[in-house]
Structure 1
Amino acid sequence: MNQSMLTATNTLRQLQDKIDTISHNVANVDTNGYKSKQASFTDLLVQQINNQPDTSKETGRKTPYGIRTGTGAKLAQAVISPSQGALEHTGRALDMAFTKENQYLKVLARANGSDEVAFTRNGALEVSPLGNNRSVLTDANGNPVLDEHNAMITFRGNVADYAIRPNGTLQVAYSDGTRESFNLGVVQMRNPQVLEQVGNNLLRLPQNVNAANVYTDLTGATRSQISMQQGVLEKSNVDLSTEITELTKTERLYQFQSKTITLSDQMMGLVNNIRS
């Protein structure tokens, strides 16, 4: 396979990854709390060929000396966009939304046969029965929501009302007149790009990564940094017009690289015909 085909093939693979990223964003345009990912490219190895040993003969040249032959481009990274999504008022007591960027709820999610802490900004909370007249607070997918000590938040008896305070405190009023308070588990992400996206709009910490380098648990006095609002949901921050524009541009690049392979094949066919 000649160099033009190799370069085009390498780039095609990476363009397909970007198309997949855009498609994932578009598919989650109506997912509460979803954060879009933006893909960026970088060049692969470039070979420098100095075909003119006498640089004085290249005086006035505007481009770098020699000839550079590349091997294509690669997807450098897919960055999570932390920007705030629009807030939709629902009036539902168990709906909440963060009003600061990079703050996430902690939930207990099942992955690879074991339970692990995951993070979400989807504030559509639910209450699921546990039996024995007890219930547990969960996210929209049934994952238990954790408190600031990583314990599940459970209720006893019949709950008459819920109140979510801006500092992340959940106050519960039972039908018998008693009350109980819980501190929702909230983290402030410092380096969200390290996190892995998993199913059901959850993020998790990769293996062998120190959590202290990625996020801070907002507990004690630091809970004053939490900012959330009851009765609203944060929509995704996907800009559909931008995604469609990027998809169109990427598909054009994909067609261009495919055309490169076709033209290279045609030129090799011409060479074979000349030799015969």
Structure 2
Amino acid sequence: MNRTMITATNTMSQIQHKMDIIGHNISNVQTNGFKRKESYFNDLLVQQFETMGRADRENGRLTANGVRQGTGAKISQAKILLTQGSLKTTDRDLDVALKKKDLFFKVLVQGEQEQSVNFTRDGAFYLSPDSQNPNNMMVVTGNGYPVLDEFDDPIVVNGNIKEIAFSENGQLRVTSHDGGAETFNLGIVSVKKPQFLEQIGGNLLGFPANMDELAVAEGNIVTALTGAARGEISLQQRSLEASNVDLSKEMTDLMNMQRHYQFQARSITLADQMQSLVNGIR
């Protein structure tokens, strides 16, 4: 395999990775609160061949001295973009939209081995009967994940519900038919370094499994908004945030990547044809 084939093969694998990211964005264009990913390319190691004996004699030369040959490209970064999605009115009491791009709700997700706290922008909440007390209702997401309060406890309300109201600073107030009322502070965090989070699935974000290797404290990535910090919260009831995916841009990027992939594949074909010609010389 010659140098051209190696360079094209290295690049094709990275282009495929970028197309996978674009496809994931497109598949979630209708997912509430979804945040798109953007990836960037960088050159792999390059090698410089000096072909000019005396560079000082090349005055006026328009091309570079020597030949620089690379080994392909790689994705240097794939980051989550927290740009605000458009808000759509639903007129549903349990629909809530966050109005600042760095805010996320805390939800409890059951993994294969243990439960973990994840983050979402999807404010389409529902009421589900509490397994421990059928007379109570638990506030959950559309996937059934319990919504947490500021102390990371699931929000459980009395089942005799008359009215549900969310304040702009993230407080849930539930009024019952007998005149009683319960209030809960929604668990909301401010994400400061989204590049350290990974997409768990759909519109969920969570800490990566290799947090110890990253040598970054969770508190430096997200900040829980409690006490006086709850003044930074801004939400809107009876509304949902749409995905921040621009379908036209994603389709354009996908077509460009497909053209790049075809170009690299054509390079391999041409290199193979050149080898065939050389090997056929007698």
| TM-score interval (norm. to shorter) | over 0.9
1:184 aligns with 2:186: yes
- Which residue does the alignment assign to 1:77? 77
Alpha-carbon shift at residue 62 of structure 1 (Å): 4.0
Q: Residues of 1 paired with 2:74 and 2:63: CA distance? A: 24
Q: Which amino acid aligns with 1:155?
A: V
Query: 1:132 is matched with which residue?
Result: 134
Q: Any conservation in 1 of the 2:11–2:73 contact (CA below 8 Å)? A: yes
CA distance in 1, matches of 2:25, 2:49: 41
1:152 corresponds to which residue? 154
Q: 1:57 to 1:112 in 2, by over 3 A?
A: farther
1:57, distance to aligned residue in structure 2 (A): 2.6
CA–CA distance in 2 between the matches of 1:176 and 1:57? 95
**Alpha-carbon shift at residue 58 of structure 1 (Å):** 2.2
Q: 1:4 to 1:179 in 2, by over 3 A?
A: same
CA contact (8 A) 1:123 1:139 kept: yes
Distance 2:61 2:207 in 1: 50
Choose from 196, 199, 208 the match for 2:198: 196
Which letter maps to 2:38? Q
Residue 111 of structure 1 and its aligned partner are, at CA, apart by 1.9
Residues 149 and 64 of structure 1, relative CA distance in 2, 3 Å threshold: farther
Conserved in 2, the CA contact under 8 Å of 1:109 and 1:116?
Answer: yes
When structure 1 is superposed on structure 2, of 189-198 and 52-61 the one drifting more is 52-61
Residue 166 of structure 2: aligned partner: 164
| Partner Cα distance (1:128, 1:85) in 2 | 28
Aligned residue identity for 2:14 = Q
Deviation at 1:51, TM superposition (A): 1.5
The reply on whether 1:274 has 2:276 as its aligned counterpart is no
1:232 is the counterpart of 2:239: yes
Within 1, Cα distance between the matches of 2:207 and 2:135?
34
**Normalising by structure 1, what TM-score?**
0.97
The Cα offsets for residues 106-153 of structure 1, whole Å up to 9 and x where unpaired, read as 000112321000000001001110133111111111100111111111
Instruction: Determine the structure 2 residue equivalent to 1:249.
Output: 256
What letter matches 1:150 in structure 2? D
Residue 107 (structure 2) pairs with residue 107 (structure 1): yes
Report which stretch shifted further, 205-214 or 5-14. Answer: 205-214
Residue range with higher mean Cα deviation, 228-237 or 201-210: 201-210
Q: Who is 2:60 aligned against?
A: 60
1:213 CA drift (Å) = 1.3
2-structure distance, mates of 1:62, 1:235? 51
Aligned to 2:265: 258
Question: Matched residue of 2:281: which SS?
Answer: helix
Compute the TM-score of the two structures, normalised by the length of structure 2: 0.95
Q: Is the CA contact (8 Å cut-off) linking 2:95 and 2:240 kept in structure 1?
A: yes
Gaps of 5+ in 2: none
Cα distance in 2 between the residues matched to 1:141 and 1:63: 59
Identity %: 49
For the residues of structure 1 that align with 2:255 and 2:202, how far apart are their CA atoms?
A: 27
**Cα distance in 2 between the residues matched to 1:245 and 1:99:** 29
Structure 2 residue identity aligned to 1:255? Q
CA deviation digits over 1:17-52, x for unaligned, max 9?
Answer: 011011001100000000111111000000111111
**Aligned twin of 1:23:** 23
How many angstroms does 1:184 deviate by?
Answer: 0.2
- Tell me the residue number matched to 2:51: 51
Report how far residue 67 of structure 1 moved. Answer: 1.2
Superposed CA deviations along residues 142-185 of structure 1, whole A, max 9, x for unmatched, are 10011111111101231111101110000101121100100000
Computed over aligned residues only, the root mean square deviation of the Cα atoms, in angstroms, reads: 1.1
Letter of the 2:67 partner, please give it: I
Q: Is the 8 A contact 1:141 1:200 kept in 2?
A: no
Instruction: Assess if the C-alpha contact under 8 Å between 2:34 and 2:202 holds in 1.
Output: no
**Partner residue in 2 for 1:219:** 226
Whether contact under 8 Å (2:41, 2:74) holds in the other structure is yes
CA-CA distance at 1:53 after TM superposition:
2.6
